[in-house]
Structures are given as structure tokens and as C-alpha cells.
């Protein structure tokens, strides 16, 4: 027993125990969520800046938690990654995306391309390609229906990863480098022909109008993309002046709250009806 208040180590133990029990609860709840269709996708349009048409929709996962309300991916995707549930999560997202596309195809006669986020460690799993191809087949969808987004921080030199990327490409599935500018990819890595697009991270896009240095950086990123024959997509576009500037700089597509917040599949249908240029 201790005298005179609680010791530092004991407080540390308590905190550790609390965190461990929170993790265990999250784990159980997430497994329950995956078994009970509590995860849903919302969609965030990427607008083609040359035509005003729809370049693609990005699928973003949400958890409709029975008591905590709508949870954002940051609340549970990292956990899903560490405990090995990310593969199941991905398969559920993929199935929802392709099901939504089937409906849009039915309603409008075309299948909007959807970008799906892939966690880094999925790329080091040789099974990924088969999962994607099987899902496409089950929905009778062409490989061009999907774009996979891979965060730049993930682009380590790994032979399984490189093989996966090459095989996806061979089958016609496009891959975009996500959060470009936040990672450490070498130009040679970007030039290795596995990619179709660079998504310029929101942190670079914000404020390009107020700061010539920022503008210069984004301009250089767009130029790099084009030199490598990749499309340049800007994320996090929140105002009209930013959009105008991106157009001037030759950016290919843009995404952000200026156009809309991410919305569910039914809401996308309404937008398609409202936007003839899509």
C-alpha cells in the first residue's frame, strides 16, 4: 500500500488499463459493425476542371454507430488496420461502391468511376488483386469503374507492393497517389508507371491565393504530374478563388467543400439529375 497519494507508476497503470479496455471495446464493436452492416459509404465528387463534368467520386467510409452516432474514418480505420480487419472493411466498401454503381447504371445508363481508399498494408497482401477482380466480376463491372487511392506515405520499396501495383495496372485498375506532398516518394518511384494520378494534399491547396510561395509549390506539383503523364487532382478546395487559381495552373480535377460535402448514394443520384454537365 502507498501513503500520501497515488504514485506516478500507478497513474500510468490506470491510464494504460483504461486505454486497453477502450481498445477492446472498440474491437468488439467494430467486429459487430462489420457483421451488421453498420458501415456505410458517402461519396465526394471530383470535378473535371476542363469540362465541368464528373471526373470520379471518392468513396469515404462512415460508421453509423448505434449509440455514438456517425463516426469518421479517423475514429476506426487505424484500429481496423492494426487488428487485421481492414481487409474485411475494404471488401464491404468495395461491394457497396459497386452496388451503388449498379444502381446509377440502372438509373442513368452510365457507371460513374469511384475512387476507393486502400490502406498501405493491403498492398503488401498479394490477395488484394484477386479481391478487386472478383468484386468487379460479381458486378459485371469493367476495371475502369474503379480507382484505388494509396497514400504517399505508404510508398515504401516493397517487392510485393510493387507487384500488386503492376498487376492492378495490367488489369486496367487505375491507381492514384493520395495526399501527395506529405510523403517521401522519390521522383523515380513516381515515374515507375504504376500510377494514373497525383492527388495534391489539402494542406498545400489551402491558401494558394494568399501566398505566392504556396502557389508556386502547387504549380510545381501539377507540372511534375504532367511531366510524368499523370493527372493532377487538387483536394480540399473550399472557395472560388482557389478553384480559379487551380484552373489557371492547369490542374485537371478538383474536390472539396466548395462543390459539396461528401453525400450518400441517393444524394449523388439527385446531383446527377441536377447537373446535366456531369
> Which residues contribute to the site for Ca ion (CB under 5 A)?
117, 149, 178-179, 201, 235
215 contact, one of ligand C2E, Ca ion, none, CB 5-8 Å limit per kind? none
CB of 99 to ligand C2E, least distance (A): 15
Identity of the residue, 10 or 239, whose beta carbon is nearer to ligand C2E in the bound complex: 239
Identity of the residue, 93 or 222, whose beta carbon is nearer to ligand C2E in the bound complex: 93
C-alpha 81/C-alpha 90 separation (Å) is 11
CB of 180 to ligand C2E, least distance (A): 10
CB of 175 to Ca ion, least distance (A): 12
CB of 236 to ligand C2E, least distance (A): 4
User: How far, in Å, are 62, 227, 256, 270 from residue 112 at the CA level?
Assistant: 20, 27, 18, 14
CB of 1 to ligand C2E, least distance (A): 47
Q: Which parts of this chain interact with ligand C2E (CB under 6 A)?
A: 44, 60-61, 72-74, 77, 93, 117, 119, 149, 178-179, 235-238, 255-257, 262
93 contact, one of Ca ion, ligand C2E, none, CB 5-8 Å limit per kind? ligand C2E
Amino acid at each position: 500500500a502507498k501513503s500520501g497519494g497515488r504514485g506516478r507508476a500507478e497513474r500510468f497503470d490506470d491510464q494504460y488499463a483504461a486505454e486497453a479496455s477502450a481498445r477492446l471495446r472498440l474491437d468488439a464493436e467494430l467486429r459487430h459493425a462489420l457483421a451488421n452492416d453498420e458501415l456505410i459509404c458517402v461519396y465526394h465528387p471530383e470535378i473535371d476542371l476542363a469540362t465541368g463534368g464528373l471526373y470520379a467520386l471518392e468513396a469515404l467510409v462512415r460508421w453509423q454507430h448505434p449509440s455514438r452516432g456517425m463516426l469518421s474514418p479517423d475514429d476506426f480505420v487505424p484500429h481496423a488496420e492494426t487488428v487485421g480487419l481492414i481487409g474485411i472493411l475494404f471488401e464491404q466498401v468495395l461491394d457497396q461502391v459497386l452496388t451503388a454503381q449498379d444502381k446509377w447504371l440502372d438509373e442513368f445508363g452510365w457507371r460513374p468511376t469511384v475512387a476507393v481508399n486502400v490502406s498501405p498494408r493491403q498492398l503488401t497482401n498479394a490477395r488484394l488483386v484477386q479481391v478487386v477482380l472478383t468484386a468487379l466480376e460479381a458486378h459485371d463491372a469493367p476495371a475502369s469503374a474503379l480507382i484505388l487511392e494509396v497514400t504517399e506515405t505508404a510508398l515504401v520499396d516493397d517487392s510485393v507492393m510493387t507487384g500488386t501495383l503492376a498487376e492492378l495496372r495490367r488489369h486496367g485498375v487505375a491507381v492514384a497517389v493520395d495526399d501527395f506532398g506529405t510523403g517521401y516518394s522519390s521522383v523515380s518511384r513516381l515515374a515507375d508507371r504504376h500510377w494514373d494520378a497525383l492527388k495534391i494534399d489539402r494542406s498545400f491547396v489551402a491558401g494558394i491565393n494568399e501566398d505566392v510561395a504556396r502557389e508556386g509549390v502547387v504549380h510545381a506539383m501539377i507540372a511534375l504530374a504532367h511531366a510524368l503523364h499523370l493527372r493532377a487532382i487538387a483536394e480540399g478546395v473550399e472557395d472560388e478563388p482557389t478553384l480559379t487559381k487551380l484552373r489557371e495552373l492547369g490542374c485537371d480535377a478538383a474536390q472539396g467543400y466548395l462543390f459539396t460535402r461528401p453525400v450518400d448514394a441517393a444524394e449523388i443520384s439527385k446531383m446527377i439529375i441536377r447537373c446535366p454537365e456531369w
